[in-house]
Structure 1
């Protein structure tokens, strides 16, 4: 299973450097942002598992940003701030932050709080991470796909597209949505990439690839995963 990805949001380069070194040594993958705008962009593109958020950002108050970063119940948020006032801590927690650490902080304590937050995230979402449609199942937590009980090996792009469809079975996802999820925003017009991946998925997952019943095409729009 890939290492957890953590987004550091802090306008002080020295703090980001310290946190990056600490987290990298602990085995985490790290993404950095120095402004609220960069943080929102990094969250959308890099999809971190946890966010370390400073409240004193130059372009937007961190309290407002805390609610936006946690609004979809995805990444966990730990506020790491020099603000010591109780009302600030309460406000951050009320807006969706999972924990609050005051600067200056002890790195061992911060790592322990990160482990707790990530463990809670996995426990909370575990029941929502397995999707079964017909003879095919996907465990989003373990990144495993099975057909009739046997594990199916997908390429990274095949897995990214299938996982995105599996998160919302029955819903049509546009070509642009799937391309963005698997390739990033730079490839949103390259629908041929998506067609190649879908052909591969059908070969591996459908009973009769030429007559798909699982991975359905919505002409001119996108694809959906059958909900039956």
Structure 2
């Protein structure tokens, strides 16, 4: 079995070397890049399992790149940044990053976070399929798209897909914020709550929900969420 591929995008050579050594010692394959243009060119011929992305890139806005990666690649995206403010972490998670690690960091922590992301992604789901149908919609988790009854497709990010799968695998059951945090990972607190709010809001928009009276993803204030659709996996 081929080892998972982790790409490292950071303009500091010491950090690239430190991360590559730690990840390779842990059994991962790595590819390292100092500029976004080199990284994006490599994506045409390589499919990473996890992307580690620094926000302070010399040739591209890191946050914009993170958002595009999350939507187009289907890989887990972990931000590594010296920006330690809560708002920076919130913004990164709102743009569909899966995790946010603040510099300086212990390489062992990064390895542990990568392993956690891969364990969650590869854990056997309750359903045996990557396709779920509900209320006129089809969710294709193998290509990260939502298809309506006219055959029109809308992409969703890796992070949005995690939330959607959680709902679809537990329809008509209350899902608490605590359960979401435990299942999806990340530190509990304001940044996690804000990220979940944004991901759910985006899913509602993609499902053409009325934000004032959503039919499928209902908020139970003070308790969590309930997905009210009739779900079948094929």
TM-score by length of 2: 0.52
- CA deviation vs aligned residue, 1:49-102 (integer Å, no higher than 9, x gap): 000110000011111110011113611011111110111111111111100000
**Take 1:64 and 1:90, find their aligned partners in 2: how far apart are those partners?**
14
Equivalent residue, structure 1, for 2:40: 40
Aligned to 1:11: 11
Higher relative contact order (CA 8 A, sep 6+): 2
Contact 1:40 1:69 (8 Å CA) reproduced: no
Equivalent residue number for residue 50 of structure 2: 50
- The answer to whether residue 90 in structure 2 is matched with residue 104 in structure 1 is no
Deviation at 1:120, TM superposition (A): 1.6
- Please give the secondary structure, in 1, of the residue aligned with 2:30: strand
Q: 2: CA distance between counterparts of 1:35 and 1:126?
A: 40
Determine which structure has the larger helix proportion and give its number: 1
CA RMSD of aligned residues (A): 2.5
Separation in 2, partners of 1:24, 1:129: 32
Map 1:143-162 to 2 at 5 A. none
Taking the aligned partners of 2:79 and 2:15, their CA distance within structure 1 comes to: 13
Cα distance change, pair 12–65 in 1 and its aligned pair in 2 (3 A): same
Q: Counterpart of 1:71? A: 71
1:79-228 equivalences under 5 Å are: 79-123=79-123
Q: 2-side partners of 1:83 and 1:13: how far apart?
A: 19
* Alpha-carbon distance in structure 1 between the residues aligned to 2:53 and 2:68: 12
Post-superposition Cα deviations, 1:121-166, rounded to whole Å, max 9, x if no partner, equal 22388967789xxxxxxxxxxxxxxxxxxxxxxxxxxxxxxxxxxx
Contact 2:22 2:108 in 1 (8 A): no
Tell me the residue number matched to 2:24. Answer: 24
Return the alpha-carbon distance in structure 1 between the equivalents of residues 96 and 123 of structure 2.
18
Cα distance in 2 for partners of 1:7, 1:122 equals 18
2:83, 2:67 → 1: CA distance? 17
Structure 1 stretch 79-88 or stretch 34-43: which is displaced more?
34-43
In the alignment, structure 2 segments of 5+ residues that lack a partner are 132-234
Using the alignment, how far apart are the partners of 2:53 and 2:126 within structure 1? 25
Whole-angstrom CA distance in 1 between matches of 2:20 and 2:54: 14
